[in-house]
């Protein structure tokens, strides 16, 4: 049995054991960003977890179906629920909840106007309401009319200490760790209060489980908030912060798997192409061994971009390995089809 099959089987057995004790729901959020192995695992769980009180809920943008046109096909129980804009009444109710800082007399009028402006987009409603409640802005003054513009205006209005910490946190990605912020010197002695305030504003949230033992893990409540914060960070400061995040990850992780890919990215953006190349190659090899074939192709491409033009020998070797990874990834669809065919034969037997 391959390492991948062993891992998938272990996950399945663990979930089955939990579900035997209590009804269980598995939630996969933003699965359109999942790599090939994660998508394969979710499909396998949907196919093999039977006769147990388990609900698998997948939240994703339409890009998931673009990447996997047959998503959900052949599963014993599968339902798709497309989500459109909120109806007018629901949008108004959400706006009322988010405008909690306004007086009762003003909230209803503002909620109706806010809901109409947002055209039923929940994120737009939340960010409009936050801009109104946290700043002196008003509809009469002319608010930004795009979500990105609203988020940027909201972040610009933050107290300087909170804004600085949030922009530093964005360097880590959608998920970041307090240890990285401490290494940057972000917030210094006020870091606890600042992180709590950013949570209260619903810009970030602390997660109960951390992928790095001993370090509190946080995540931006929406990737758009992270992206806007990163864009607001001066370029010179970005390079310095990427270096600090890379050093933190080197000290706090095993430097393999996802950590290796992250290290390659951070060292590249810090301008340390040689160190980035070393981690990109190691991460590509790990991805191949773990059957994350699509990720392996991406990592070999990143590695090739990092090799100096005059290093002909190394460029030739990485091109060779990239070509092999592309061929394996190309035939992955055939392997999946054989796997589905075998599962169908098992059911019919």
pLDDT tens sequence across 36-58: 888 888 988 888 888 889 999 99
Rounded CA gap, 194 and 192, in Å?
5
Average pLDDT for 12-34 = 90
pLDDT beyond 70 at 73: yes
Residues 6+ positions from 207 with CB-CB distance below 8 Å? 175, 217, 218, 219
61 & 107 share domain: no
| Residues 253, 42: Cα–Cα separation, whole Å | 26
- Residue 128's nearest CA partner among 156, 335, 139 is 139
Residue 344 has pLDDT above 50, yes or no: no
Closest CA to 225 of 305, 145, 167, 307: 167
Q: In what order do the strands lie in the sheet with 175-177?
A: 175-177, 217-220, 204-206
To the nearest whole percent, how much of the chain has pLDDT over 70?
86
| Shared-domain flag, residues 273 and 349 | yes
272 with 333, same domain: the answer is yes
Q: What is the pLDDT of residue 86?
A: 85
Encoded tokens for 189:
């002695």
| Boundary residue ending a domain (156, 174, 209) | 156
120 in a structural domain: yes
Residue 113 within a domain:
yes
In terms of C-beta density within 10 A (0-12 exposed, 13-18 middle, 19 or more buried), how is residue 28 classed? Answer: middle
17, 97: one domain: no
The per-residue pLDDT for 137 is 58
More confident residue, 288 or 229: 229
Residue 341, pLDDT score = 46
Q: How confident is the model at residue 2 (pLDDT cuts 50, 70, 90)?
A: low
Domain housing 132: 88-156
Say whether both 93 and 59 belong to one domain.
no
Residue 22 placed within a domain: yes
> pLDDT band at residue 338, thresholds of 50, 70 and 90?
very low
Specify whether 61 is located in the same domain as 93: no
For residue 115, being part of any structural domain is answered with: yes
Q: Are residues 110 and 140 in the same domain?
A: yes
Measured between alpha carbons, how far is residue 178 from residues 187, 226, 276 in Å?
11, 16, 23
Greater pLDDT, 3 or 6: 6
Indicate the length of the chain as a whole number. 349
Residue 209 inside a domain? The answer is no
Q: With residue 219 as reference, give the H or E element that holds it.
A: strand 217-220
pLDDT given at position 83: 81
pLDDT-derived band of residue 32, with 50, 70 and 90 as boundaries?
confident
Looking at the chain, the whole-number percentage of residues with pLDDT higher than 90 is: 35
State how far the Cα of 227 lies from the Cα of 247, in Å rounded to an integer: 22
Last residue of a domain, one of 125, 156, 187: 156
pLDDT of res. 306: 92
What is the pLDDT confidence band of residue 279, given thresholds at 50, 70 and 90? very high
User: Last residue of some domain: 139, 156, 173?
Assistant: 156
Mean pLDDT on 78-101: 82
| Domain-embedded: residue 162 | no
Two tokens, residue 297: 């192709």
Q: Is the pLDDT of residue 267 over 90?
A: yes
Q: Element (H or E) spanning 206, and its range?
A: strand 204-206
21 and 111 part of one domain: no
pLDDT at 168 over 90: yes
Residue 256 predicted with pLDDT over 90: no
CB atoms closer than 10 angstroms to residue 279: 29
**Residue 210 domain-assigned (yes or no):** no
For the stretch 117-163, pLDDT in tens is: 777 788 888 888 887 777 665 555 555 667 788 888 889 889 999 99
Q: How many domains does the chain have?
A: 3
Backbone φ, ψ for residue 217 (5° rounding): -105, 135
**Are 62 and 97 found together in one domain?**
no
CATH code (residue 273): 1.25.40
Q: Which residues lie below 8 Å from residue 231, measured CB to CB, with a gap of 6+?
A: 152
pLDDT band at 101 (very low <50, low <70, confident <90, very high): low
**What pLDDT is recorded for position 193?**
92
**51 and 94 assigned to the same domain:** no
**How many CB atoms are located within 10 Å of the residue 265 CB?**
20
Q: Is residue 114 located within the same domain as residue 47?
A: no
Average pLDDT over residues 4-20: 88
Residue 224 maps to a domain: no
- Residue 191, H or E segment: helix 191-200
d(CA 270, CA 107): 46
């Amino acid at each position: 049995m391959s390492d991948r099959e062993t891992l998938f089987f272990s996950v399945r057995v663990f979930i089955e054991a939990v579900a035997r004790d209590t009804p269980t729901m598995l939630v996969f959020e933003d699965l359109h960003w999942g790599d090939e192995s994660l998508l394969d695992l979710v499909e396998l769980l949907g196919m093999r977890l039977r006769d147990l009180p388990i609900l698998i809920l997948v939240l994703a943008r339409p890009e998931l179906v673009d990447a996997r046109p047959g998503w959900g096909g052949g599963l014993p129980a599968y339902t798709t629920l497309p989500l459109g804009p909120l109806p007018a009444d629901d949008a108004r109710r959400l706006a009322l909840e988010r405008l909690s800082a306004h007086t009762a007399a003003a909230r209803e009028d503002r909620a109706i106007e806010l809901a109409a402006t947002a055209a039923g987009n929940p994120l737009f409603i939340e960010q409009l309401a936050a801009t109104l409640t946290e700043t002196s802005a008003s509809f009469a003054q002319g608010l930004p009319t795009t979500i990105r513009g609203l988020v940027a205006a909201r972040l610009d209005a933050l107290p300087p200490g909170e804004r600085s910490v949030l922009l530093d946190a964005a360097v880590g990605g959608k998920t970041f760790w307090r240890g990285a912020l401490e290494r940057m010197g972000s917030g210094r002695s006020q870091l606890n209060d600042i992180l709590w305030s950013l949570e209260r504003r619903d810009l970030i949230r602390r997660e109960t489980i951390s992928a790095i033992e001993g370090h509190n893990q946080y995540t931006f409540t929406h990737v758009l908030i992270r992206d806007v914060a990163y864009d607001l960070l001066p370029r010179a400061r970005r390079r310095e912060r990427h270096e600090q995040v890379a050093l933190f990850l080197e000290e706090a992780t095993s430097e393999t798997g996802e950590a290796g890919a992250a290290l390659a990215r951070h060292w590249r953006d810090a301008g340390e192409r040689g160190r980035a190349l070393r981690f990109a190659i190691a991460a590509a090899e790990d991805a191949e061994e773990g059957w994350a074939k699509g990720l392996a192709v991406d990592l070999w491409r990143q590695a090739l971009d990092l090799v100096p033009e005059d290093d002909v020998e190394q460029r030739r070797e990485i091109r060779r390995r990239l070509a092999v990874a592309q061929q394996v990834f190309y035939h992955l669809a055939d392997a999946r089809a054989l796997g589905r065919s075998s599962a169908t034969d098992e059911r019919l037997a």
